[in-house]
Amino acid sequence: MLERRAKSEFAGVALSALPALFNAALRLTGREADAEDLVQDTYVLAFERSVQLRSLAACRPWLFQIMRNRFISLYRNRRAVSQMVVIEGVVENTLSGDDVRGIDREEVARLSRDEIRVALND
């Protein structure tokens, strides 16, 4: 564990990168709220893992790497989640690309829309 002085120095260096991290996060996410969340996640992880940082000189690039990895992880998780879509007034569940691989496409193509609705309602 970092000593109290080392933790204080780490916090000072890490927090000095906040404006640059936020600007980069905003470019990645395209939305202020998402950028704020991403930066917050980055700092939480950085402070939890601060003992892994070998040199304060490497702090800034280390923070950007954490943020990049967190963004990629969040993006993958969002892409893998099924979404609910309203089609013709009925809510239908759309599958992600990973889910579709296990479905026999010919079998699904033979089903009528009503048969699919009944199956989803069951």
Closest CA to 96 of 108, 78, 114: 78
Structure tokens at 21: 């991290």
Q: How far apart are CA 37 and CA 90, in angstroms?
A: 33
Q: pTM for this one? A: 0.60
CATH 1.10.1740.10 residue ranges of the chain are: 4-80
The number of beta carbons lying within 10 Å of the beta carbon of residue 87 is 9
Is residue 77's pLDDT more than 70?
A: yes
**Per-residue model confidence as pLDDT tens digits over 10-69:** 899 999 999 999 999 999 999 999 999 999 999 999 999 988 888 889 999 999 999 999
Q: The domain 4-80: what is its CATH number? A: 1.10.1740.10
Of how many residues is the chain composed? 122
